[in-house]
Amino acid sequence: MRRAEGQQGRQAMRRQTFAARSAGTGQAAAVTLKGLIRSLACRSGAVQSKTRGTAVPTAITSLFDPASLGIVVAGTVLATAARSGWRDCGAALRAAGGLARRSFDGEQNRKTLAQAVTAIHRDGHHRASPPLPPDRALGLMLETYLRHGVIDALGAVRRSERALSEARRLSAAQVFIWAGELAPVFGLVGTLFGLTRLAPTTGSEATALIMGAISSAVLTSLYGALLAHLVCYPLAGAIERRGLADEESRDALAEWFADQIGRIDCDAQERRTHLRGVA
C-alpha cells in the first residue's frame, strides 16, 4: 500500500512538473511569437515609409525627358524666329527680361520734371538746363520743349512716343503668342517622332523599347501644352499689362508737365502784357 501511494505521489509530482514546464514553454513561445510579429510589423512599416518617400521623386523624374523637351523647345524657337525674325525675337526676349526689373519709376520722373518746371519758371526755356528724366519718352518731351519753347510740340512728341511704345509692346507680345501657337505643334511632331520608334523588335528588351517610345511620344505633347500655356501666353499677357501700366503712368506725368508749362506760359504772357501797358 505504501509503495502504491508513493508511486502515485511521484506520478502526480511528475504531472505537475510537466504541466508547469508546458505552461512555461507556451508562455515563452507566445512571447517569442509576439516579438516576431512586432519586428515584422516594424520592418514592413519601414519599407512602406521608404517606398512612399521614394515614390514621389520617382514619379517626378519619370516626367522629365531631355530629348523630348529639346525637340519641343528647339523647334518652337526656330519656327518662331522664322515667322517673326531674329530681331523681333531678340526684342521680345529683352521685354520678357525687363519684367524682372523694376517698372516705370513714377516718383523719380516726377521729381525730375518738377525740377525742370522750377528751372523753366525761373530762367525761361532758353536758359534753363535741368536734368532729363530717366524715362526716355519724358526726357525727349522735355528736351523738345527746351529747344523750341512751344507747348504744342509736347503733344506731338508724346503721341509719337506713345505709338512707338505701343508698336514695340504689341510686337513683343505677338512673338510669344506665335510661340504659344507653335509649341503644341512641335509637341505633336515629337509625338510622331516617338511613334516612329515603335518598330517591330524581338528579344528581352522589346518591352522596354516600346514603353520608352510611348513615353517619349506622350511627354512631347505634354511639354508642348505646358510650354504654350505656362510660359508663352503668360509672358505675352505680362508684357502687355506692364506696357499699359507704364503708359498710363507716363501719360499722367506728361499731362501734369504740360499743365505746368501752360501755366508758366500764361504767367509770362500776363507779365509781358502788363509791362506793355505800363510802358
Chain-centre distance for alpha carbon 210: 34
Question: Would you state the pLDDT for residue 22?
Answer: 46
CB 164 within 8 A of CB 136: no
Average pLDDT of every residue of the chain: 78
* Reported confidence tier of residue 57, pLDDT bands at 50, 70, 90: low
How far apart, in whole angstroms, are the C-alpha atoms of residue 111 and residue 113?
5
Say yes or no to pLDDT of 71 above 70. Answer: yes
Query: Positive or negative, the Cα torsion across 174, 176, 181, 185?
Result: positive
CA pair distance 102, 108, nearest whole angstrom: 12
Give the pLDDT mean for 253-269.
85
Q: Which of 185, 175, 180 is nearest to 84 (CA)?
A: 175
Confidence of residue 216 (pLDDT cuts 50, 70, 90): confident
Q: What percent of the chain has pLDDT over 70?
A: 68
pLDDT of residue 192: 84
Average pLDDT for residues 264-271, to the nearest whole number? 72
Determine the pLDDT at residue 226: 94
Q: Which residues contact 173 (CB under 8 A, 6 or more apart)?
A: 92, 236, 237, 239, 240
pLDDT for residue 5 is more than 60: no
Task: Count CB neighbours of 65 within 10 A.
Answer: 20
Mean pLDDT of 37-52: 45
**Local structure of residue 279 (DSSP, 8 states):** -
pLDDT tens digits along 85-95: 999 999 999 99
Alpha carbon distance 79, 232 (integer Å): 14
